[in-house]
Each structure stands twice: as structure tokens, then as C-alpha cells.
Chains A and B, each alone.
Chain A
């Protein structure tokens, strides 16, 4: 399966089936969030040589700007670069399929067994872990994206708007507009806060 050939912009001979199977395997072992991205890069760039490191990095920069799960978006990007739209579909489906199958099976089990005391005890404790996950995600997002007093002000105003039961679409749109205004103004006056890629 491993294609040993020099890195090229678009190596020939990567079929849709190759793409699908490669991403199926990656999707089945995709645990651990950010660490997984390094694994994806090592596998696709260094091991299979399907893509140059620069092209991969370019995709990363784009996928972090647009919405969606970053790993899925990167799979889609790599698939597209190697085999056009059908490659994008093959890679994305391959990557998502294992987690879809696992989640569907676990959901079926879960909704059939919520009455069992052992399952209730299990999820009683796992709920606490989910709280921890959300807390840590919140702190990490704060550290990576709240820049300067402008960011802090937007967090506070968005919180106030949500407490007043404003619609979340309105809150997000307002936050985008306010950020444009605040960062734009401070950019004109001085160096302003550094806006960096995460």
C-alpha cells in the first residue's frame, strides 16, 4: 500500500480506492485532537509522499479559517488536491465512516440500556469528565483567540447578550461586526493587537 516515490505536486497513480482506504485507516485511529494532525501530516507527507509539506501547510491555514472539524476538512483538502472533487468525497467519507459506525453502534446500545444501574453509574461519572472537557476547551479557546481588550470586550458583550436571551445568530453576527470595527480602528491608529493563526 505504501507508495514510495518522490514528493510531487500530484503524484500519479493515487486512485479513489487508495484515497478512501488510506483515510479510512486514519479515521479509525483518529484520537487525540491536535496530536492527530501531526500524525496525518507524517503519514501523508513523509510516509506516502502524496503531498509536499508546503501544500499541506497551506491547507492547514485555510482549514483553520473556515468552519468545520479541522481533521475532516484536511482530509477533504488532501483528497481534492490528489483527485479533484471525487477525491475530496472519497477522503472525507473514508475519514468519517469509522467514527460514524462507532457512534451509531454506541448510540443504539446507549438508548437500549439507559435503565441499567451500571450504565447509569457509568454516565453519572462520565458527565463530570464532559464538564472538564468543556472547561479545558473554553480555556484553550480563550488563550488562542481572545486578543487584546477588544477580544475581552466582545466576550463580555456576547455573554450579556446571551443572558438577555438574544438569538445566537445575532450574537455571532454582532461579534463579527464589532471585531471588524474594533480591530480595524486600532489597526489604523497603531500596531494594535497581533492577529495570528492559531
Chain B
């Protein structure tokens, strides 16, 4: 990236952090948090789920576990990455402006990391140490995901019907049945049964 592009990126970051400070201080904080989490989402984006649960739901209490679970469910029926759940969190905190801000905030760091990494690609590829460290970070993410699994289970699996539905959905996912089909089936089942 050219110097000019980096300056534009820096201005954008400052705008995300300072802009909402006047009328929506919580959004400025959320943007900062999402930028931080966006730089840590190794392993393809799904790791953002435990990071948001840990930082935004449990630590800050900006939305409830139940709301976050619902946001993830919405993330399954929208196209694109699960990272877009950040948009839901932003909307919860500051409406449309929150949705825009949080989306830019969550994608900006990984965009800049890619831009910075591209010229050094050959060196990064050869560094075994980098791979080892990422392997370690992903192992730690499993522990984080397990704790999120417990939290989500507590909030969602309240009776034998929900346990049965979760089991059926897990088996269907494992057998690589289309996620949209699973969600559609579960939606019909939910409206009829609950």
C-alpha cells in the first residue's frame, strides 16, 4: 500500500473511534473493541464468535447472551461471513450508524493486515515459527469456544425439545447437509412446537 492509502486508513480508524464519541460513546468503545478483536480472528473468522461473547457480551454487557445467539442465527440466513454478526451488535448499540461503524471496524484490521503482509508473502510462508504460534492460538481458541458452548447451551438448551433439536442439527451439520436447509427445518419446527 502507498503512504496515501495508509493515511486514508488511519483517518478512517480515527473517525470510527472519535466520530461517535459525541453522540454515541458506547459505539466508539464498540468500534475500538471490534478493531481489537478483528486483529485476533485467526482461523477463518469463526473465532470472532468466542471473542465477541467474551469481550462484548460477558465483559461489557452490551448485549445479552440470548441476543447474541439470535444475532448468530441471523448471520446464518444472511450470505457472507459469520463475522457480519458484528453488524448486529452495532445495530443493537447505535442503530444504523452503529451497524455501519461496527462493520467497517471489524473488517478494517484484517484488510490492513493483508495489505501489509502481501509484499512479504514469501518470507511469511517460510517461517515455521509463525505457523507454530498460530497453531497454538487456534488451540487456545478451542478452549474459548468450549466455554462459549457452555454459555450458549445454558441459554438455549432449556428442555428436552431444544436438546433434541440441537442434537439433530449437529448431526445434520456433521453430515454436511446444507446449513440453510437445517435452519429452515428448525424454523418450521420451532414455530409449530414452541
In the complex, the answer to whether B132 meets A69 with C-beta atoms within 8 Å is: no
In the complex, the answer to whether B44 meets A70 with C-beta atoms within 8 Å is: yes
In the complex, the answer to whether B142 meets A103 with C-beta atoms within 8 Å is: no
The answer to the question of B22 belonging to the interface, with a C-beta cut-off of 8 Å to chain A, is no
Contacts A122-B191, A158-B143 given; does A127 touch B155 at CB 8 Å: yes
Q: Which of A6-14, A46-54, A55-63 interfaces with chain B?
A: A55-63
> Bound state CA distance, A141 and B144, in angstroms?
12
Chain A: interface size category: 35 or more
> Bound state CA distance, A120 and B190, in angstroms?
9
User: Secondary structure of the B side of the interface?
Assistant: helix
> Bound state CA distance, A132 and B88, in angstroms?
20
Contacts A69-B41, A71-B81, A168-B55 given; does A145 touch B166 at CB 8 Å: no
B136 nearest CB across to chain A (Å):
2
Q: Which residue of A lies closest to B51 (CB)?
A: A168
Contact with A along B57-91 (1 / 0, CB 8 A): 00000000010011111111111111111011001
Q: Which residue of A lies closest to B48 (CB)?
A: A69
Contacts A125-B189, A127-B73, A158-B143 given; does A67 touch B113 at CB 8 Å: yes
> Bound state CA distance, A64 and B130, in angstroms?
12
Q: Which of A29, A58, A111 has the most CB of B within 10 A?
A: A111
Interface residues of B in 142-180 (CB under 8 A from A): 142-149, 152-153, 155-157, 162-163, 165-167, 169-170, 172-174, 178-180
Contacts A66-B114, A128-B169 given; does A99 touch B81 at CB 8 Å: yes
The answer to the question of B193 belonging to the interface, with a C-beta cut-off of 8 Å to chain A, is yes
In the complex, the answer to whether A68 meets B114 with C-beta atoms within 8 Å is: yes
Contact of A67 (CB < 8 Å), options: B41, B146, B194: B41
In the complex, the answer to whether B143 meets A155 with C-beta atoms within 8 Å is: yes
Contact of A69 (CB < 8 Å), options: B44, B142, B183: B44
Contact of A122 (CB < 8 Å), options: B78, B137, B179, B187: B187
Q: Which residue of A lies closest to B190 (CB)?
A: A125
Chain B residues bordering chain A, tally (CB within 8 A) = 102
In the complex, the answer to whether A126 meets B135 with C-beta atoms within 8 Å is: no
Residues of B within 8 A of A142 (CB): 142
The answer to the question of B11 belonging to the interface, with a C-beta cut-off of 8 Å to chain A, is no
User: Secondary structure of the A side of the interface?
Assistant: helix
In the complex, the answer to whether B114 meets A104 with C-beta atoms within 8 Å is: no
A184 nearest CB across to chain B (Å):
7
In the complex, the answer to whether A67 meets B39 with C-beta atoms within 8 Å is: yes
Residues of A within 8 A of B146 (CB): 138, 159
Query: Contacts A125-B194, A137-B46, A155-B139 given; 6 further ones with Cβ under 8 A?
Result: A27-B80, A66-B42, A100-B80, A154-B136, A179-B132, A195-B131
The 7 tightest CB contacts between A and B, nearest first, are A179-B136, A125-B190, A68-B110, A99-B80, A69-B45, A127-B156, A69-B81
Q: List 14 A-B contacts (CB under 8 A).
A: A61-B125, A62-B124, A67-B42, A69-B110, A92-B107, A107-B71, A121-B191, A127-B66, A133-B169, A135-B149, A138-B149, A146-B142, A147-B135, A172-B141
Contacts from B to A (Cβ < 8 Å) = 1-2, 5, 38-46, 49, 51, 54-55, 66, 69-85, 87-88, 91-92, 96, 99, 103, 107, 109-111, 113-115, 117-118, 121, 124-125, 128-149, 152-153, 155-157, 162-163, 165-167, 169-170, 172-174, 178-180, 182-183, 186-187, 189-191, 193-194
Contacts from A to B (Cβ < 8 Å) = 27-33, 58, 61-73, 76-77, 80, 85, 88, 92, 95-96, 98-100, 102-104, 106-108, 110-111, 118, 120-139, 141-142, 145-147, 151, 154-156, 158-159, 161-163, 168-169, 171-172, 174-180, 182-184, 187, 195
